[in-house]
């Protein structure tokens, strides 16, 4: 899972800062395009064009499109985990409020991009049949990593007495990301963050609590 | 929404039974392919090949690929509503058990196709950016129709005293389909119906009830 994709750098040579910077730009542009339109319909030309990197130089940076896809997935996972940690480890907020904070932030992010971007993991899961077989394992591992973070947050809520100690937090964390992918999909469909609000309100009320930091008042009108 | 797509039949002529049968086969093959791989990556050649209809004769049946897509969506909606009604109007079962029955049936269906097929609405929602603009409205209308059916079932559960009358059944029905799309996506990813089971158990427990007809014991091992 943490294995880095092979890059086409000659053995024994350290990549120059300029090389690393260009590679990062390609990955960032890949993240943008893949969250918009998935892997299969994203041509390398479009990535290079967005990155303003000369055509034909792609293979200086990645062995092939699959290796590029793997690097984009890893980068997205890193980015997303940082985002999750920012909200879910925030000790100034009660554990369940942190979940609502994360969703409110995700709503702002989706609105900023006018609901054209989804979740990279959801997009790629939808087109699995057309993807390299090892993408499946990688996507599953990414979701498991996110689940662990939500489970930890729910355990903190249990420890604080905010939700019953009898709840199966592992199953609830799995459910959180199941419903998340559905909510992001629906938000793109209706071009509104209302599905994200519906999701977090229903999820929190499934724990026997009312959302205290409901992002409802931030929803689109 | 209920407007039928235009077909390339000469004015004033009634389609022959053979014509209608071939058109139905094309739509059925389209449903299969679109639930597997979505709209953009499905070529008309693949549809014609699966339907064993001669190449080049597509335009006898549909004005273009978009009209075909619209016909497939309508057919899928009809098929799915019949399926929903079969389970959700079953007076021999308590309302909440009917929801669990529907999910158990969906689990069997996904397993039968080895988790290669998703929900047509979810697949098409994922690739909205590449679809004709009117597909968005159609997909949303389909989901609203399904939601009405789940809301009706939840109202029956309220009337029977199985769940609190204070619950917002419209919002819960919306949440049901949000989580459904996420669960189908995840089931395809992990090639197991476990996400569907996680979803229905969590959904029913969010209503304050335990699943009585849990499909857990039918899950893949």
Tokens of A78: 């890193």
Separation CA B26–CA B20 (nearest Å): 10
Would you give the end-to-end CA distance of chain A in angstroms?
41
Q: Which CATH topology does A73-220 take?
A: Tetracycline Repressor; domain 2 (1.10.357)
A and B: number of Cβ contacts within 8 A = 132
The answer to ipTM > 0.90 is no
With H, G, I as helix, E, B as strand and everything else as coil, classify residue A6: coil
CA-based nearest residue in chain B for residue A170:
B198
Token couple for A131: 């993807």
A contacts of B198 (beta carbons < 8 Å): 171, 174-175, 178
Q: Give A215 or A100, the one with higher predicted confidence.
A: A100
**B-chain residues near A182 (CB < 8 A):** 122, 177-183, 185
Read off the pLDDT of residues B13-64 as tens digits, 9 standing for 90 and up: 677 889 999 999 999 999 999 999 899 889 999 999 999 999 888 999 999 9
pTM for the model stands at 0.88
Say yes or no to pLDDT of A221 above 70: no
What residues have CB less than 8 Å from B184, skipping those under 6 apart? B106, B110, B118, B119, B122, B195, B196
- Would you state the structure tokens that stand for residue B47, as one six-digit string? 């549809």
Mean pLDDT by 10 residues, chain B (221 residues): 46 78 96 92 93 91 96 98 98 98 98 94 90 96 98 98 94 97 97 97 83 43 37
For residue A178, the model assigns a pLDDT of 98
* Residues of chain B found within 8 Å of residue A36, distances taken between Cβ atoms: 129
**Substitution target from B34, B186, B193 for chain A, most A beta carbons within 10 A:** B186
Cα gap A31→B19, rounded to integer Å: 46
Show residues of chain A in contact with B129, CB under 8 Å.
Answer: 36-37, 116
Candidates A172, A175, A194, A219, partner chain B, best to mutate (most B CBs within 10 A):
A175
Cβ contact, residue pair A175, B179, below 8 Å: yes
B136/A189 CB distance under 8 A: yes
| pLDDT surpassing 90 at residue A4 | no
Domain residues of chain A, as ranges? 73-220
* pLDDT at site A56: 84
Average pLDDT for chain A: 89
pLDDT tens digits along A30-84:
999 999 989 988 999 999 999 999 988 899 999 999 999 999 999 999 999 999 9
Least CB-CB distance to B178: which of A40, A116, A183?
A: A183
Interface test with B, best of A123, A202, A209, A219 (most B CBs within 10 A): A202
Between CA A120 and CA B80 the distance in angstroms is 28
Which positions in chain B have a beta carbon within 8 angstroms of at least one beta carbon in chain A? Answer: 36-38, 40-41, 116, 118, 122-123, 125-130, 136, 139-140, 143, 171-172, 174-175, 177-183, 185-186, 188-191, 195, 198-199, 201-203, 205-206
CB contact under 8 A, B127 and A182: no
Confidence grade of residue A130 (pLDDT, cut at 50, 70, 90) = confident
């Amino acid at each position: 899972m943490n294995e880095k994709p092979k890059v086409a750098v000659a053995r024994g040579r350290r990549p120059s800062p300029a090389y690393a910077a260009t590679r990062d730009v390609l990955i960032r542009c890949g993240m943008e395009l893949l969250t918009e339109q998935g892997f299969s319909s994203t041509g390398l030309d479009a990535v290079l064009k967005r990155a303003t990197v000369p055509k034909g130089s792609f293979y200086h940076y990645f062995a092939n499109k699959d290796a590029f896809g793997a690097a984009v997935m890893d980068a997205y996972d890193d980015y997303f985990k940082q985002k999750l940690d920012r909200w879910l480890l925030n000790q100034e907020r009660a554990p369940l409020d942190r979940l609502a904070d994360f969703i409110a932030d995700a709503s702002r992010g989706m609105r900023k991009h006018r609901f054209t971007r989804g979740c990279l993991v959801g997009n790629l899961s939808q087109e699995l049949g057309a993807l390299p077989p090892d993408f499946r394992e990688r996507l599953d591992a990414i979701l498991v990593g996110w689940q662990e973070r939500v489970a930890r947050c729910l355990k903190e809520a249990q420890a604080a007495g905010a939700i019953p100690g009898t709840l199966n937090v592992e199953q609830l964390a799995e459910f959180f990301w199941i419903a998340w992918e559905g909510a992001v999909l629906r938000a793109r469909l209706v071009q509104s963050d209302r599905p994200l609000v519906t999701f977090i309100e229903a999820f929190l009320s499934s724990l026997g609590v009312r959302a205290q930091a409901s992002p409802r008042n931030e929803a689109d009108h």
